[in-house]
Amino acid sequence: MVSVVINTLNEEKNIERCLSSVAWADEIVVVDMESTDKTRSLAQKFTDKIYSHPLTGFVEPARNFAVKKANNDWILILDADEVIPGRLAQTLKILSEKGEYDFFRIPRKNIIFNRWILHGGWWPDYQIRFFKKGKVTWDRKIHGVPLTRGRGLDLIAEEENAIIHYNYSSIGQFVERLNRYTEVEVQQLVSEGYKFLWPDLFAKPTGEFSSRFFLREGYKDGLHGLALSLLQAFSFFVTYLKVWEKEGFWQAEEKNLLDAVKKEFKLIGQQFNFWYFREKEKNVNIFQKIIYKIYKRMGK
């Protein structure tokens, strides 16, 4: 038997769509984190097992609490902005009946700014969401990977096997979450002993952009890919600025700041050229590859 576990916070726009997609489950458990909208009353249409948990700023600390409220052997974790399609629901029921594995990683289809994003690290976006009770636990890190026990299996990365995630629907929503998430990320960096270095305002966002846009081919999603790569880079920029803020906005003892900043921009340009020509080398003839390799080494 399967229990669906959902943590919520002001999800009146999403909760009914989410709960309707798991009406097949044997039990639905909702753990609400101090919602101020109609989330709880809407959830009551689908289940009477609604519990409260203190607001934590991000969901991971509340997930273990929510799982403990479930009564069945198999647990399906969902966020309120996610949906389980019918074909995936059938697959999960079959897998729970067979019982050959202890947990499953399920691909997730991210819908961002009205489009399914296929690159930039957004697909297949595997998530450990279906497991035998007691086999998976979450740590207290934001977006942390859960701890697993036993045998696991990845479902094939196909659309019919994927959780549908109605992720960011607007720039405003991204910025609102960015402000909340970066507060938590700053706490984690400080707790790990990180001390602010102003060149990180260039290095960290640049590394994130390069990873998203070039290495994970975000450019193949067109303007959506570019926008998301820049927004993710901006998130890193804000995070490290907030560390500086937490340290009291100290003044950098850089005598030649202008020259130092110029050097950082030069490094960014060199990195951009490296990744640009690395991608251009793909799907071209041997002669063109040689030319691109030369340009890449020269930093042009």
- Range(s) of the chain covered by CATH 3.90.550.10: 2-166
Residues 48-64 have a mean pLDDT of 86
CB count, 10 Å around CB of 127? Answer: 20
* Residue 62 and residue 56 in contact, taking contact as beta carbons nearer than 8 Å: yes
Residues 189-194 have a mean pLDDT of 96
pLDDT tens-digit map of 82-101: 999 999 999 999 999 998 99
Positive or negative: CA dihedral 222, 225, 227, 233: negative
Within the chain, residue ranges assigned H as helices are 15-20, 39-43, 60-68, 86-98, 171-191, 200-209, 222-246, 257-280, 286-298
d(CA 251, CA 253): 6
* Residue 118 and residue 221 in contact, taking contact as beta carbons nearer than 8 Å: yes
* Residue 126 and residue 162 in contact, taking contact as beta carbons nearer than 8 Å: no
Positive or negative: CA dihedral 68, 73, 77, 83: negative
Question: Poorest-confidence range of 13-22, 135-144, 246-255, 269-278?
Answer: 135-144
pLDDT of 142: 67
Residues 20-40 have a mean pLDDT of 96
pLDDT of 300: 55
pLDDT tens-digit map of 211-244: 999 999 999 999 999 999 999 999 999 999 999 9
111: helix, strand or coil: strand
148: helix, strand or coil: strand
| Residue closest to 110 by CA, chosen among 81, 85, 88, 131 | 81
Give helix 171-191 / helix 222-246 axis angle, nearest 10°.
40
**Per the structure block, which two tokens stand in for 84?**
């389980």
pLDDT tens-digit map of 235-255: 999 999 999 999 999 997 778
> Is pLDDT larger for residue 145 or for residue 245?
245
Say if strands 136-137 and 82-83 run parallel, antiparallel, or are unpaired. unpaired
> CATH assignment of 2-166?
3.90.550.10
First vs last Cα of the chain: how many Å apart?
60
pLDDT of 296: 60
d(CA 275, CA 278): 5
* Residue 107 and residue 163 in contact, taking contact as beta carbons nearer than 8 Å: yes
* Residue 146 and residue 136 in contact, taking contact as beta carbons nearer than 8 Å: yes
* Residue 184 and residue 61 in contact, taking contact as beta carbons nearer than 8 Å: no
Please determine, for residue 163, whether its predicted confidence score (pLDDT) is greater than 90.
Answer: yes
Please name every residue paired with 32 in a beta bridge, in sequence order, or none if there are none. Answer: 8, 52
Average pLDDT of the chain to the nearest whole number: 93
| Residue closest to 145 by CA, chosen among 60, 81, 65, 33 | 60
Residue 75 per-residue DSSP state: E
Whether the upstream peptide bond of residue 107 has omega within 30° of 0, thus cis, is: no
* Residue 76 and residue 68 in contact, taking contact as beta carbons nearer than 8 Å: no
**Angle value at C-alpha 169, between 91 and 212, nearest 5 degrees:** 80
Residues 273-290 have a mean pLDDT of 80
